[in-house]
Amino acid sequence: MKSNVSAAVLLLLSIGGRHEAFAQHPSAADVERIDHDIRGAMSRFHVPGTAVMALQNGRVVFVKAYGDRDIRQGLPVKTDTLFEIGSITKQFTAACILQLRDQGKLSVDDTLSVYLPDAPHAKEVTLRNLLTHTSGLHDYLEGPDAEMDKLIAQPISYQNLLARVASLPLDFPPGSQWSYSNTGYMLLGRVIEAVSGEPYKDYLQHHILNPLHMNHTFTTADEDRLANMAIGYRYREGKLELAPPLDSTWGQSAGFLISDLADLSRWDRSLRDGTIVSPASYREMSTAFMTTKNGSADYGFGLFVASMYGQPRIGHTGGSQGFTTADEYYPEQRLRLIAFTNSGDKSPEAGETITNILFADLNPTLAANALKSAPGEDEKKTQTVRAAFRELQGGASYAHFSSHLRERFTTTGSKFAAELSPYGQATAAVYKGVRQVNGESWYDYVMQFGPGVSIPFSVRTDKEEIVAGFSLG
Res 67: pLDDT: 98
Residue 40 is classified by DSSP as H
Res 64: pLDDT: 97
- In whole angstroms, give the CA distance from residue 80 to residue 212: 17
Give the residue-averaged pLDDT of 417-424: 94
Give the residue-averaged pLDDT of 234-238: 90
Whole-number Cα distances in Å, 424 to 10, 193, 436, 451: 33, 45, 31, 13
Residue 59 backbone dihedrals phi, psi, to 5 degrees? -115, 140
Give the residue-averaged pLDDT of 120-136: 98
Give the residue-averaged pLDDT of 336-361: 96
At 48, the pLDDT band (50, 70, 90 cuts) reads very high
Contact partners, residue 459, CB within 8 Å, separation at least 6: 384, 385, 388, 442, 443, 445, 467, 469, 470
Task: 238-242: list long-range contacts, CB under 8 Å, 24+ apart.
Answer: 240/1, 240/46, 240/48, 240/71, 242/322
Whether 406 has a pLDDT exceeding 90, the answer reads: yes
Whether 9 has a pLDDT exceeding 90, the answer reads: no
Give the residue-averaged pLDDT of 264-286: 95
Whether 341 has a pLDDT exceeding 70, the answer reads: yes
pLDDT in tens, 423-460: 999 999 999 999 999 899 999 999 999 999 999 999 99
Whole-number Cα distances in Å, 177 to 134, 292, 431: 6, 7, 28
pLDDT in tens, 288-313: 999 999 999 999 999 999 999 999 99
- In whole angstroms, give the CA distance from residue 199 to residue 197: 7
Res 308: pLDDT: 94
Res 237: pLDDT: 85
Whether 396 has a pLDDT exceeding 90, the answer reads: no
Res 24: pLDDT: 66
Whether 19 has a pLDDT exceeding 70, the answer reads: no
Res 145: pLDDT: 85
Whether 219 has a pLDDT exceeding 80, the answer reads: yes
Give the residue-averaged pLDDT of 161-179: 96
Residue 224 is classified by DSSP as G
With beta carbons less than 8 A apart as the criterion, state whether 65 and 5 touch.
yes
Dihedral sign (CA 63, 67, 68, 73) = positive
Whether 22 has a pLDDT exceeding 50, the answer reads: no
Sequence letter at residue 218: F
Res 399: pLDDT: 95
Structural domains of the chain in order of their starting residue, each with its CATH number: 86-366 (3.40.710.10), 379-472 (3.10.450)
At 8, the pLDDT band (50, 70, 90 cuts) reads very low
Give the residue-averaged pLDDT of 217-236: 96
Q: What is the mean pLDDT of the chain?
A: 93
Res 15: pLDDT: 36
Percent of the chain with pLDDT over 70: 95
Whether 178 has a pLDDT exceeding 60, the answer reads: yes
